[in-house]
Amino acid sequence: MTLPTLLLGQTLHFAADPFAAGPDAARHDSAGGVLIEGGHIKAVGHGADLRAAHPEARVVDHGDALLMAGFVDAHVHYPQTGIIASWGKRLIDWLNSYTFPEEMRFGDPAYAADVAGRYLDLTLAHGTTTVCSYATIHPESVDAFFAAAQARGQRVVAGKTCMDRNAPEGLRDTAQSAYDDSRALLRKWHGVDRLSYAITPRFSPTSTPEQLDALGALWAEHPDCLMQTHLSEQTDEIAWVRSLYPQARDYLDTYEAFGLLGANGLYGHAIHLEPREKDRLREVGAALVHCPTSNTFIGSGLFDMAGLVAAGHRVGLATDTGGGSSFSMLRTMAAAYEVGQLRGTPLHASQLLWLATVGSARALRLDDRIGNLAPGMEADIIALDLSSTPAIAQRSARAQDIWEAVFPTIMMGDDRAIRTTWVSGQRLV
């Protein structure tokens, strides 16, 4: 019989949404504990109390590190790992110059497996325990990613990217093959261990109406799956969509007309939304995913976090590797803070941490399993060092409360701040 494990340290979890309830939505214990058994959290409480109640538990003392849920990255492109931080292009040029040539290589199962493993190890080192990833058009790229995640015991979401136009020869499928390949991959992987499939049209410009219609039909057959795509990232992209779909009311309508708007939809970026688009996305309960480092790196614009959350939208947070310029959700939170400042609505540290955990888990419809420290949740946990560098340490030493202590790490932290990463109750980093 495997004994339970008791993690000791500071603990932070959420009892409510800080966007609605303020910083008091979080619960902090400076001497807390998390009891893990069978890959799940059994109890969260004061460390001494848990130690007394469970003397049989193996104790792992993380000292003054902050124990919290592992980060959840709601929109990534794992095949772009090798081209992250490529210089100086806007979206369409960036795809043609960097993304498409790299994605051509993922028909090679060995290459796909190498990048998938490297990507997951990099993100685990940064404290990210769950990601929702686009693959490439190649089924091999999906198999490689799911196999790598399965080997690490991770909960991930992914799907074959579908494109049948406006992409290079060798990087296009067809309406029929997109449907057939996606259905076969869905049947192979969806619900296996901690893996979930997402139907994945890249975006309207790279899919014909026939392909969007086929993928809408597949989603109707499997409504429990997520569907992920891009929406209103850049103004020139929107103009391109108008030229390709002249009959559409707006960008969102190019998805809605083909059955690709729904409660399990994930719409990355969503910066330049029309009033009708905002209304429809909210009405159906779809999720929007904020990608701040990407949006600033390739000059897309400033996401309206405050306005969209106040209007009732579900919003997640994401690195958008590799258009995003970092694998780190800490850096992503810092960028979200900076974007908020530019819009006149800075985010509190509690809101940033919530977005990177519970908020993104909610966007993925996984908040009943991941994203928080609570009994019954899967034991994906990080130990965050709040004094990981001299610069951070000298600032956090002045802190008067947990938010002053954690904010310097959000703004200046990197993988050195991740003391340990636990996945499904196993220490991986």
**In this structure, are 384 and 415 located in the same domain?**
yes
Q: What is the CATH number of the domain that holds 275?
A: 3.20.20.140
3-state DSSP percent of the chain in helix, strand and coil, to 5: 45, 25, 35
Q: What is the pLDDT of residue 424?
A: 97
Q: What confidence tens digit (pLDDT) does each residue in 116-148 have?
A: 999 999 999 999 999 999 999 999 999 999 999
If you ran DSSP here, which 8-state letter would residue 398 be given? Answer: T
Q: How sure is the predictor about 339, in pLDDT bands with cuts at 50, 70 and 90?
A: very high
**In this structure, are 412 and 333 located in the same domain?**
no
* Amino acid, single-letter form, for residue 91: L
Structure token pair of residue 241:
């969509």
Answer whether residue 83 shows pLDDT above 90: no
**In this structure, are 314 and 405 located in the same domain?**
no
Q: What is the mean pLDDT of residues 322-349?
A: 96
Answer whether residue 294 shows pLDDT above 80: yes
**In this structure, are 141 and 230 located in the same domain?**
yes
Q: What is the mean pLDDT of residues 79-94?
A: 81
What is the rounded CA–CA span in Å between residue 304 and residue 264?
21
Cβ neighbours around 176 below 10 Å, total: 12
Higher-confidence residue of 235 and 324: namely 235
Q: What confidence tens digit (pLDDT) does each residue in 93-116 have?
A: 877 788 888 898 999 999 999 999
What is the rounded CA–CA span in Å between residue 423 and residue 429?
9
Name the average pLDDT for the chain.
96
**In this structure, are 240 and 387 located in the same domain?**
no
**In this structure, are 145 and 59 located in the same domain?**
no
Answer whether residue 398 shows pLDDT above 70: yes
**In this structure, are 353 and 263 located in the same domain?**
yes
**In this structure, are 308 and 187 located in the same domain?**
yes
Q: How sure is the predictor about 312, in pLDDT bands with cuts at 50, 70 and 90?
A: very high
Answer whether residue 92 shows pLDDT above 80: no
- Residue 59, CA distances (Å) to 7, 52, 425 in order: 6, 12, 13
**In this structure, are 132 and 171 located in the same domain?**
yes
Count of domains forming the chain: 2
**In this structure, are 265 and 329 located in the same domain?**
yes
Of 17, 9, 4, nearest in space to 371 by CA = 17
**In this structure, are 309 and 375 located in the same domain?**
no
What is the rounded CA–CA span in Å between residue 302 and residue 372?
28
**In this structure, are 350 and 380 located in the same domain?**
no
Q: What is the mean pLDDT of residues 345-369?
A: 98
Q: What is the mean pLDDT of residues 317-346?
A: 95
Answer whether residue 385 shows pLDDT above 80: yes
Among 96-105, 107-116, 338-347, 362-371, the range scoring the smallest mean pLDDT is: 96-105
Q: Which of 323, 345, 363 is the last residue of a domain?
A: 363
Q: What confidence tens digit (pLDDT) does each residue in 164-202 have?
A: 999 998 999 999 999 999 999 999 999 999 999 999 999
Answer whether residue 1 shows pLDDT above 70: no
Answer whether residue 73 shows pLDDT above 90: yes
What is the rounded CA–CA span in Å between residue 59 and residue 9?
11
